[in-house]
Amino acid sequence: MTDWLFLAEVCLAGIGAGALYALTGVAFVLIYKATRVVNLAIGEILMLGGYAFLGFAAGWGLPAWAALPLAVLCGGLFGAVVERTLIRPMLGESPISVFMVTVGLGSMLVGAVELGWGADPLRLPEFVPNRPVFIGEAYLAPKVAYGFVAASLVIAAFVLAFRFSRSGVALRATAGDQGAAYSVGIDVPRVFSLAWTAACATAAGAGVLVGSIGGISPTMGVFGLSVLVVVIVGGLDSIMGALVGGLLVGLIEALAGAFLGGEYKLLATFGLLILILMLRPYGLFGTHEIERL
């Protein structure tokens, strides 16, 4: 007999984790849409956000409501600096080179964090209320539940901003056709910078949420690998895809972890990745680019 309550709890936890994947996936897609850069350092920027929060909350003794925005701000600033110093000079280079630049950036971040805080995993100070949450009868860890709510709010804000704000429209125009965007007076370099800033700020925020659930360590960047699967499954340039992919990957990881064992988690996600790449190489919702000579 299947234990339905257990299944429901596992699914809920999976969806909760999936929301964080979706949030990071949105950050990833934002960068890809605007600048066509596959940013493998997204997991490390997440980690940076977690450590920045730790630095503000534990190091400076700031309360969580002040440390969280500061960590997000740090992430945004970092994104702007990276875009200006590392990504801008690579404009027009092959996508692989830019991809490798982000790989190198990730390595530098890991080293810097290890130098600053040591290689051991650390716990973030508690800032989420820890009264258990029940949905129907199923128990859900409060951190996961609040993480889900926060991620949903941010994603909703992003979707609205894309649709209605001036910068959002400029970003969509740049994604559609850079040359055309230039000619109607959109400042494309500014859009690039904005996309990196917003994406890295989001990733840093997601890092605080992820860190509050599982603790932070220099190897947290592995989270970025799962995010990579999320965006490939959803389609690299689709916000909708990041949402669906995030929830799907979160669910699959939770189910594989609960019913097969922890070591099957990565195997399940990457199995899904290979499957999707074989069936729909451009992802569930991605644009199928047609190549011409």
Which stretches of the chain bind another protein, using CB under 8 A?
38, 86, 89-90, 93, 95-97, 99-101, 103-112, 114-115, 119, 225, 228-229, 232, 263-264, 266-267, 270-271, 273-274, 277-278, 281, 291, 293
Shorter beta-carbon distance to another protein: residue 28 or 146: 28
Residue 7 or 112 having the CB closest to another protein: 112
Look at residues 42, 2, 59, 36 and name the one whose alpha carbon lies nearest to residue 210. Answer: 42
Q: List, in sequence order, the alpha helices (H) in the chain.
A: 4-35, 42-54, 64-82, 95-117, 142-164, 166-176, 178-183, 188-214, 222-234, 239-259, 264-279
DSSP state string for 19-53: HHHHHHHHHHHHHHHHH----TTHHHHHHHHHHHH
Residue closer to another protein by CB (options 184, 293) is 293
The amino acid present at 81, given as its one-letter code, is V
Closer CB to another protein, 106 or 250, in the complex: 106
Residue number, 119 or 180, with CB nearest to another protein = 119
Min dist. Cβ of residue 268 to another protein (A): 10
Q: How many CA atoms lie within 13 A of 171 on its CB side?
A: 29
Compare residues 105 and 133 and give the one whose CB is closer to another protein. Answer: 105
- The CB-of-232 to another protein minimum distance in angstroms stands at 6
Closest CA to 34 of 156, 163, 198, 225: 198
Identity of residue 211: G
Distance (Å, rounded) from C-alpha 256 to C-alpha 187?
46
Adjacent-strand bridge partners of 216: 122
Q: How far is the CB of 182 from another protein (least distance, A)?
A: 24
What minimum distance in Å lies between the beta carbon of 30 and another protein?
Answer: 17
What is the residue type of 273? L
CB-neighbour burial class of residue 136 (10 A; exposed 0-12, middle 13-18, buried 19+): exposed
To another protein, the closest distance from the beta carbon of 97 in angstroms equals 5
Q: What is the smallest separation between the CB atom of 118 and another protein, expressed in angstroms? A: 9
**CA 244 vs CA 19, 122, 159: distances in Å:** 9, 31, 14
How many CB atoms are closer than 10 A to CB 262? 10
Radius of gyration for the chain, computed over Cα atoms and rounded to the nearest angstrom: 19
Tell me the closest approach of the beta carbon of residue 274 to another protein, in angstroms: 5
**Given the complex with another protein, which of 3 and 291 has the nearer CB atom?**
291
* Pick 45 or 232: Cβ nearer another protein: 232
Q: Shortest approach of another protein to residue 193 CB, angstroms?
A: 18
